[in-house]
């Protein structure tokens, strides 16, 4: 019996990739992990308490003085380049699970606004530009716009106030988003419904790369209760991704947190959740169930703290994640078990803006029964994480659309 658990700490980067400054030159200084640790020293007067992340080898990947350089656990530690354009949760997870993203393009809504308008009109909606700007008001309530929280052209949103319109059902926010998805060339169309502090048009602003969209954090959607979100991804061959590969081999699959919203696997047990305690609880329950298992869990609140530029909250959440990882390490003790802790992009709360940051992410692999500590070479893509997980489950990584298993690195001193 063997279990492989992948815990994705959303927005947890360990330093800028070489091309991080292409869009925003200041992003070459991005370092989510380092800046959160620095803030704790200043604000709390002590290091963050991250003993398990340290034992899993985070200090071997990131040179921060508050991270231990030695570990007693049998781990392999390295870092991965993202392997997809921009810095985006949906693209990150799909890539990590082995997807081929070569047909997905980067485009502003302005580049396709006539096509989107025609599709909405054909579906029976009324769609018009907001004050002549390149975003649409649909049925007088829902805004279709560039997503300003990811890099320009990665995602589009359909956003509405739940006081004005239902999220589900005919003519609802989700139905409008699905119509947009049918003609959108971008990685993700996101349906967002929530309770705002005022009329949505008052929160529209220009973004980077000549985009125009809704300043979603400013609306109060994230702060006020009742937020509903659905991620509609680009058409991909999900049969060549890790969850489907595992399910076809008879391995039970559990998707927890945001992973349950954005990954496709017909037989999977799904536990969508935003609260970090809930995500960790669902993950632990899946491991305790016994037998072979693939569990993919996403801790989303770290990403939200990055968007809110709340470095202190980010640090507190890392400590909470660390405590949850301690319980997972204790449960995953069989020689075939694996715990992989990684990220999907960066989201540096100290960088001076609320966008994701294009950073390397850690790849920390706990390997019960293995001998010693290994330093892994940099992975070219997050797809290599999925391929490595496939091998740990006894699956052929050649069944994935992308990725190569991470090979043995050098021994840590």
147, 172 Cβ separation under 8 angstroms:
no
How many domains is the chain built from? 2
Assign 151 a pLDDT band (cuts: 50, 70, 90).
confident
pLDDT, residue 308, reads 93
In angstroms, what is the C-alpha Rg of the chain?
A: 21
Quick one: which of 265, 232, 257, 231 has its CA closest to 386?
Answer: 265
Task: Say whether 389 sits in a helix, a strand or coil.
Answer: helix
251-271, pLDDT tens digit by residue?
999 999 999 998 999 999 999
The proportion of the chain whose per-residue pLDDT surpasses 70, expressed as a percent, equals 99
152/245 same-domain check: no
- Please compute the mean of the pLDDT values over residues 276-282 and round it to a whole number: 98
349, 32 Cβ separation under 8 angstroms:
yes
The sign of the torsion formed by the CA atoms of 160, 161, 164, 168 equals: positive
- Please compute the mean of the pLDDT values over residues 292-304 and round it to a whole number: 97
Assign 411 a pLDDT band (cuts: 50, 70, 90).
confident
117/75 same-domain check: no
Assign 371 a pLDDT band (cuts: 50, 70, 90).
confident
Query: Over 80: is that where the pLDDT of 353 sits?
Result: yes
Extended beta strands in 66-172, E state: 75-80, 127-130, 133-138, 142-147, 155-161
Assign 100 a pLDDT band (cuts: 50, 70, 90).
confident
pLDDT, residue 1, reads 67
pLDDT, residue 406, reads 95
Residue 328: give the domain boundaries. Answer: 3-101+236-411
pLDDT, residue 409, reads 67
Mean pLDDT, the chain, rounded, equals: 95
pLDDT, residue 161, reads 98
Report the CATH number at residue 26: 3.40.720.10
Quick one: which of 285, 280, 238, 228 has its CA closest to 93?
Answer: 238
32/124 same-domain check: no
160-179, pLDDT tens digit by residue?
999 999 999 999 999 999 99
128/184 same-domain check: yes
Query: Over 80: is that where the pLDDT of 408 sits?
Result: no
381/318 same-domain check: yes
367/396 same-domain check: yes
CA 160, distance to chain mean position in Å, is: 23
195-223, pLDDT tens digit by residue?
999 999 999 999 988 999 999 999 999 99
More confident call, 94 vs 100: 94
- Please compute the mean of the pLDDT values over residues 236-256 and round it to a whole number: 96
94/126 same-domain check: no
Task: Say whether 19 sits in a helix, a strand or coil.
Answer: coil
| Domain end (from 179, 205, 233) | 233
Quick one: which of 386, 405, 411 has its CA closest to 94?
Answer: 386
Query: Over 80: is that where the pLDDT of 386 sits?
Result: yes
pLDDT, residue 260, reads 96
| Domain end (from 202, 218, 233) | 233
pLDDT, residue 93, reads 95
83/113 same-domain check: no
Assign 234 a pLDDT band (cuts: 50, 70, 90).
confident
Quick one: which of 11, 101, 10 has its CA closest to 357?
Answer: 11
116/49 same-domain check: no
- Please compute the mean of the pLDDT values over residues 91-104 and round it to a whole number: 88
205/229 same-domain check: yes
pTM: 0.82
19-53, pLDDT tens digit by residue?
999 888 999 999 999 999 999 999 999 999 999 99
Quick one: which of 7, 25, 3 has its CA closest to 16?
Answer: 25
Rounded-to-integer distance, Cα 61 and Cα 77, Å? 7
218, 202 Cβ separation under 8 angstroms:
no
pLDDT, residue 348, reads 98
Rounded-to-integer distance, Cα 237 and Cα 235, Å? 7
| Domain end (from 212, 233, 254) | 233
Rounded-to-integer distance, Cα 229 and Cα 160, Å? 11
| Angstrom distances, CA of residue 262 to CA of 90, 91, 93 | 6, 10, 8
Query: Over 90: is that where the pLDDT of 235 sits?
Result: no
- Please compute the mean of the pLDDT values over residues 8-12 and round it to a whole number: 98
């Amino acid at each position: 019996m063997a279990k492989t658990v992948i815990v994705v700490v959303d927005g947890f980067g360990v330093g800028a990739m070489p091309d991080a400054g292409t869009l925003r030159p200041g992003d070459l200084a991005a370092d989510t992990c380092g800046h959160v640790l620095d803030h704790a020293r200043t604000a709390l007067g002590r290091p963050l308490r991250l003993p398990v992340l340290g034992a899993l080898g985070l200090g071997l990947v990131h040179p921060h003085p508050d991270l231990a350089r030695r570990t007693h656990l049998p781990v392999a530690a390295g870092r991965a380049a993202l392997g997809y354009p921009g810095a985006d949760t949906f693209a990150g997870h799909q890539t990590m699970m082995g997807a081929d993203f070569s047909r997905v393009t980067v485009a502003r809504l302005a580049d396709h606004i006539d096509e989107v308008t025609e599709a909405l009109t054909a579906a029976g909606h009324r769609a018009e530009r907001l004050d002549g700007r390149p975003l649409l008001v649909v049925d007088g309530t829902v805004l279709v716009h560039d997503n300003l929280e990811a890099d320009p052209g990665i995602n589009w949103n359909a956003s509405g106030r739940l006081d004005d319109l239902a999220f589900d059902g005919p003519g609802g926010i989700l139905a409008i988003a699905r119509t947009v998805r049918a003609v959108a060339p971008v990685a993700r169309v996101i349906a967002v419904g929530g309770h705002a502090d005022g009329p949505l048009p008052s929160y529209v602003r220009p973004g980077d790369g000549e985009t125009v969209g809704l300043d979603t954090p400013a609306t109060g959607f994230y702060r006020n209760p009742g937020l509903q979100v659905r991620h509609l991804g680009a058409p991909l061959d999900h049969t060549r991704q890790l969850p489907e590969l595992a399910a076809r081999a008879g391995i039970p699959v559990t998707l927890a947190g945001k992973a349950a919203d954005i990954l496709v696997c017909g037989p999977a047990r799904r536990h969508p959740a935003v609260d970090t305690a809930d995500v960790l609880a669902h993950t632990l329950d899946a491991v305790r169930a016994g037998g072979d298992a693939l569990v993919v869990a996403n801790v989303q609140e770290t990403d939200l703290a990055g968007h809110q530029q709340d470095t202190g909250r980010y640090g507190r959440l890392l400590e909470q994640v660390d405590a949850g990882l301690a319980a997972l390490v204790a449960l995953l003790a069989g020689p075939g078990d694996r715990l992989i802790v990684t990220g999907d992009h960066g989201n540096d709360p100290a960088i001076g803006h609320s966008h994701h940051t294009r950073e390397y992410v850690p790849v920390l692999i706990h390997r019960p029964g293995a001998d010693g500590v290994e330093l892994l070479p940099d992975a070219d893509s997050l797809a290599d994480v999925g391929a490595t997980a496939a091998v740990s489950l006894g699956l052929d990584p050649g069944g994935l659309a992308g990725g190569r298993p991470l090979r043995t690195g050098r021994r840590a001193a």
